[in-house]
Amino acid sequence: MRRQRPTPEQLAARRQASLGGVPFRLPAVRQEEKGGKLYVTIQFERPRWQRVLGADRQCQRTFGLDAYGRRVYESCDGRQPVQQIIRQFAKQTNVSLPEAELAVTRFLRTLLAKGLVAIEMEKPGR
């Protein structure tokens, strides 16, 4: 059975909900600045298949953030919604709001996937 495509109204509602989410940084093992970049080291648990092959359970991974990435990462303070971060980014970098929205939302997806941030979404009906 095929899934129905969302209506334009449903897509708009999802977009608004996403822009209202509040990102926050997850605990980092270490943060250090080198050569104009911010390096963030996180601890994570390896997938089971890697542990079966003999890898340690815990592992550390370091990510380097340039000036723009750092600006977005540091804005994830658990108080500002995504929409506000986008507006700040547009103002600070002199880009249009649509450009800033695209850049910030894509980068936030990357930060989410890498385990550097999480986003608290508002519950419906609140």
pLDDT digits (tens, 9 = 90+) for 77-120: 999 999 999 999 999 999 999 999 999 999 999 999 999 999 99
3 assigned to some structural domain? no
Average pLDDT, the chain: 89
3-state secondary structure of 111: helix
Q: Is 32 left (phi over 0), alpha (psi -120 to 50) or beta?
A: beta
| Number of independent structural domains in the chain | 1
Residue 125: the pLDDT is 55
Residue 117 burial class via C-beta count within 10 angstroms: exposed 0-12, middle 13-18, buried 19 and up: buried
Contact 19, 81 (CB under 8 A): yes
Q: Quick one: tokens of 25? A: 């940084």
44 assigned to some structural domain? yes
Write down the pTM of the prediction: 0.80
76 assigned to some structural domain? yes
10 assigned to some structural domain? no
| Domain hosting residue 58, numbered range | 21-119
Task: Please name which of 2, 4, 71 lies closest in space to residue 38, comparing C-alpha atoms.
Answer: 71
2 assigned to some structural domain? no
11 assigned to some structural domain? no
Task: Please name which of 79, 96, 74 lies closest in space to residue 87, comparing C-alpha atoms.
Answer: 96
